[in-house]
Amino acid sequence: ALQIKGMSRTFKFKKGTEYVTLQDPEPNLSPDMVMSYYSNFYPELTTASVHGPECEDDSVVYRFKTTIGTKG
């Protein structure tokens, strides 16, 4: 039988040379609201922007790209 299920969301951002993967705290939140939620734990997200979604494996991935430390 065919089974239909929604794709889960994950959120990623680069911290130094590593990528941090964050789980979806609440599926009803917009990606911007998720970024705001996680900015309490990762202050660099306060100046980030949301990019995506992209499909990877069985999930939808949004990337938070920070603007701190980048030049033109």
User: pLDDT category, 71, cuts 50, 70, 90?
Assistant: low
Confidence at residue 1, expressed as pLDDT on a 0 to 100 scale? 73
Q: Are strands 18-23 and 8-15 parallel, antiparallel or unpaired?
A: antiparallel
pLDDT at position 69 over 80:
no
Q: What per-residue string of b and e applies to 35-45 under the rule 16 or more CB within 10 Å gives b?
A: beebeeebeeb
Q: Decide: pTM greater than 0.75.
A: yes
pLDDT single digits (tens) 18-60: 999 999 999 999 999 999 999 999 999 999 999 999 998 888 9
